[in-house]
Amino acid sequence: MISIKNLTVNYNNKQEMNALEKVDLTMEKGEIVAVIGASGCGKSTLLKVIGGIITNYQGVVEIDGIPLNTKKNLIGYIPQGYGLLPWKTVMENCLLPVKIRKIGLKNNKKSIFTRRVADEKTKSLVKGLLNELEIGNLSKRYPVTLSGGQRQRVALVRALSFSPQILLMDEPFSALDAIMRDEAAEIFLKVWKQNRCSTILVTHSIDEAIYIGKKIVIMGNSPGRIKRIIENPLYGEEDYKEHDNYKKVYHLIKEEIREVEKR
Ligand SMILES: Nc1ncnc2c1ncn2[C@@H]1O[C@H](COP(=O)(O)OP(=O)(O)OP(=O)(O)O)[C@@H](O)[C@H]1O
Ligand SMILES: [Mg+2]
């Protein structure tokens, strides 16, 4: 379970408005939460705190009742823009988290320069994911030679390469066109269902939030805060757009976001 209490972040030591102010959020294990809100309301900031990139904050962030420790907690993180390293191949990018965390590795007997390499379990997990996402043939390519959709899938494999307990995704589908976006969300859910790690998805798309989020967290800005949390009645519905409730839920979210923007 992820529990956030009274989380406040200020990037400039109080010279500017808080990027997040008094944010409270609880997430059950294995739950997917979609976070939506206008640009600048602190969505990425929230993920960066949980992902351990921002450590200067006030408040409490606990994982299963213990203060967040990004060295111990296994957290997969897809940053806004994917953050793939251009000088590393697809496979090297995918294995980066295991190398940094020094898990899922074995001694390399073949080379005295590279001491530790991915073990069989890690390799088969990563290869399996690459194949499942239909990019298994791209493992030796560099990110610059890939399409947007392929890069997005590599970022997903990399985040899942060490079977994380928490997955953080910052607008993972936003660079894709509408059709690819729907397809990518579908593929994501298919892969996600295999280990159901607690997931936070940041999105600007109301449909994506309805399709993926069990809870939908609507954030407001100036200062960044949680405005409303909706238990999504359409969660898990394949044909959610055909559902009687769809228009109602869509407009409810839209109005909440608009109200924030008008302030
Ligand atoms: N490194 C930084 N230094 C100073 N201010 C920052 C920094 N990063 C973000 N901010 C400010 O914090 C606020 C929240 O930013 P954040 O990136 O979390 O927003 P967001 O909701 O993710 O926006 P978007 O939807 O555009 O990605 C904004 O006002 C932004 O200008
Ligand atoms: Mg952002």
Q: What is the DSSP string of 226-238?
A: EEEEEE-TTTT-T
Residues 260, 186 share a domain: yes
Q: Is 203 part of a structural domain of the chain?
A: yes
From the alpha carbon of 47, which atom of ligand 1 is closest? 18
Q: Any idea what DSSP says for residue 112?
A: S
d(CA 1, CA 261): 31
Q: What is the pLDDT of residues 37-49, one digit of tens each?
A: 999 999 999 999 9
The helix/strand count (H/E) of the chain reads as: 7, 12
Q: Is residue 235 part of a domain?
A: yes
**Quick check: helix, strand or coil at residue 116?**
strand
Q: 255, exposed or middle or buried, with CB in 10 Å at 0-12, 13-18, 19+?
A: exposed
173 and 256 assigned to the same domain: yes
Q: Are residues 88 and 130 in the same domain?
A: yes
Residue 237 lies in a domain: yes
Q: How far is CA 64 from CA 31, 171, 224, in A?
A: 13, 26, 25
153 lines ligand 1 (CB under 6 A): no
Number of domains making up the chain = 2
Instruction: Note the pTM of the prediction, 2 decimals.
Output: 0.93
Q: Which atom of ligand 1 is nearest to the CA of 37?
A: 21
Looking at residue 114, what is its pLDDT? Answer: 64
Residue 29 CA, ligand 2 centroid: distance in Å? 24
pLDDT at 34: 98
Nearest to 162 by CA among 52, 75, 70, 72: 75
Closest ligand to Cα 170: 2
Q: What pLDDT, on the 0 to 100 scale, is given for residue 79?
A: 94
The last residue of a domain, from among 129, 148, 163: 163
Give me the CATH number covering residue 62: 3.40.50.300
Number of the ligand 1 atom closest to the C-alpha atom of 171: 27
182 lies in the same domain as 262: yes
Whether 41 is in the pocket of ligand 1, judged by its Cβ within 6 Å, is yes
Residues 47 and 174 in one domain: yes
Is the CB–ligand 1 distance for residue 45 below 6 Å?
yes
225 and 249, same domain (yes or no): yes
CA of 46 to the centre of ligand 1 (A): 10
Distance set, CA 163 to CA 13, 84, 156, 192, 197 (Å): 36, 19, 11, 11, 8
Looking at the chain, the whole-number percentage of residues with pLDDT higher than 70 is: 95
The confidence score (pLDDT) of residue 103 equals 73
- One domain for residues 137 and 149: yes
Q: Is the CB of 97 under 6 A from ligand 1?
A: no
Query: How far is ligand 2, taken at its centre, from the CA of residue 134, in Å?
Result: 28
pLDDT at 88 (0 to 100): 96
Residues 184 and 67 in one domain: yes
Residues 180 and 247 in one domain: yes
Determine, yes or no, domain membership for 79: no
Q: What is the pLDDT of residue 262?
A: 55
Tell me the pairing of strands 166-170 and 75-78.
Answer: parallel
Based on the fold, state whether residues 174 and 203 are members of the same structural domain: yes
- CA of 42 from ligand 1 middle (Å) equals 6
CA distances 120 to 127, 128, 138, Å, are 10, 12, 19
Q: How far apart are CA 99 and CA 95, in angstroms?
A: 6
Domain termination site, one of 163, 196, 227: 163
Question: 126 and 171 in one domain?
Answer: no
Amino acid at site 129: L
Print the domain residue range for 92: 84-163
What is the CA 189 to chain-centroid distance, rounded?
Answer: 13
Q: Does the residue 184 lie in any domain?
A: yes
* CB of 79 closer than 6 angstroms to any ligand 1 atom: no
19 CB within 6 A, ligand 1 = yes
Residue 143 beta carbon below 6 angstroms from any ligand 1 atom: no
Low-confidence ranges of the chain (pLDDT < 50): none
Quick one: 158 and 171 in the same domain? no
Q: How many angstroms separate the CA atoms of 79 and 137, rounded?
A: 24
pLDDT of res. 260? 56
At which of 138, 163, 188 does a domain end?
163
Residue 254: other Cβ atoms inside 10 A = 12
Quick one: pLDDT at residue 261? 55
